[in-house]
Amino acid sequence: MQNEKTASRSVPMNDLFKAWIVLVALTVLGYVLSLINSDLLVYVGPLIIATLILFKARIILTQYLGLNRCPAWLSMLSSMIVAITVICAGLLTFVSAGLMQ
């Protein structure tokens, strides 16, 4: 028997840093959108925020949790996050549109 170490499949620090920068940029974009006071953003804003959440969740799942090596888990978790986010965005859009009338 040979005592060989298997090569770990770690993500290079450069990729993690790039992912972190993208996450920070998406967070700042969401914050800036929340500060804008517009009638159009009442209806579209929750959907834009939901899209940002989906992008951020996908980056976290693939880069930080390493689920790109487990496509079944990645697909299942992504589907669950999409479903929950769509439901929440729909409810938020419905409620915010009802409050504006």
Is 0.95 topped by the overall pTM?
no
- Note the pLDDT of residue 92: 80
pLDDT in tens, 66-82: 888 889 999 999 999 99
pLDDT in tens, 6-36: 555 666 778 889 999 999 999 999 898 888 8
Three-state SS at 12:
coil
pLDDT, averaged across the chain: 83
- Where exactly are the structural domains of the chain? 13-100
Burial class (CB in 10 A: 0-12, 13-18, 19+), 23: middle
